[in-house]
Amino acid sequence: MALFSSRREGVPHLPLHVLLLGFTLFTLYPILWVVSLAFSGRQSLALSTLPESPTAMDRLRAVIPWPETWSLSNFTSVLTDQPFARWVLNSVIISTGTTVVGVFVACTAAYAFSRFKFPGQRAGLMAFLVSQMFPGTLMLIPLYIILVQWLGLGSSRLGLIIVYATTSIPFSVWMLKGYFDTIPKDLEEAALMEGASVSRIFWSIILPLAKPALSVTALFSFMTAWNEFILAATFMDQEAMYTAPVGLRFFVGGFSQQWGYFAAGAILVSVPVVVLFLFLQKYLVSGLTAGSVKG
């Protein structure tokens, strides 16, 4: 009887599992195409060649992302025949600089908004929130005037670091402030009674306790700078200073369509983010949930 009841309870879950499996396959199908195209050694989108009189099975094989032969030629060509390695290095430097500068400034600002009372505190938080309501392309023209014409930082890594760090600060401040609000103030009061200064409390107590939120914020800042295309394509007018997303677009243009190189480059660009995700995985859930408790 118990076995029968457990089966009856498990029946309604079957359609849900089938639906989730279908969505999973639908999501993975484009990724399988990119991986298969990158390892096919070809530049054509067709992974297999159809015979003169194709059957239904031949047509089915044509849409299944599985190459006839596996090769690493696309990866070797991208890394040796193209300046793709330099573009990836530019992305690493810019994304790392953006993460360090943005998270450092956001930490100090979020701690001030969380612990201190000062004139304009609420207005400052609302200004950060309102700035996130506008698309990034709205600031493209003023940023170009300030960065290129006034500061002379066009086609430079420092210029992109400044732009990316500035645009990531509002989100980072709100994220970190929500986490700082969950840290008990009793810890700071006890440290003050022991003679610790405010800066010592911030560096030795608050930041170690906020490690999950710092990890999540740093990950989002890194990913934003790593994947950004429009600002990098606008400010970088020298080929040697391209970032990886900007460099990928030259593999597929109006005169040449090197889809194999594009797929191989896309996989290489995805590897650092995947590794960073795996490294910070243990902090993701706790950092996201705790940072959303208060705001």
Using a pLDDT cut of 90, give the percent of the chain over it: 28
What mean pLDDT, rounded, does the chain reach? 84
Q: What is the mean pLDDT of residues 103-120?
A: 91
Kindly report the CATH number that applies to the domain delimited by 75-291. Answer: 1.10.3720.10
Mean pLDDT of 127-146: 85
Phi then psi for residue 257, to 5 deg, are -130, 90
What are the domain boundaries of the chain? Answer: 2-71, 75-291
Whether this model's pTM surpasses 0.75: yes
Residue 30 CA to residue 24 CA, distance in Å, equals: 11
Q: What integer pLDDT is reported at residue 11 of this predicted model?
A: 52
pLDDT at 113: 92
Residues in the chain: 295
Instruction: Give 257's strand partners.
Output: 252
Q: What is the pLDDT of residue 254?
A: 61
Contact 87, 240 (CB under 8 A): no
**pLDDT exceeds 90 at position 103:** yes
pLDDT tens for each residue of 64-77: 777 778 889 899 98
Residue 265 predicted with pLDDT over 80? yes
pLDDT in tens, 47-68: 666 566 666 666 666 667 777 7
Higher pLDDT, 15 or 246: 246
Q: How do residues 199-244 score in pLDDT, each as one tens digit? A: 899 999 899 888 888 988 999 899 999 999 999 999 988 888 999 9
Burial class (CB in 10 A: 0-12, 13-18, 19+), 159: buried
Q: State whether the Cα torsion 272-263-74-83 is positive or negative.
A: negative
Does the pLDDT value for residue 290 go beyond 80? no
The pLDDT of residue 6 is above 60: no
pLDDT for position 5: 46
Per-residue pLDDT tens over the stretch 79-92: 888 889 899 999 99
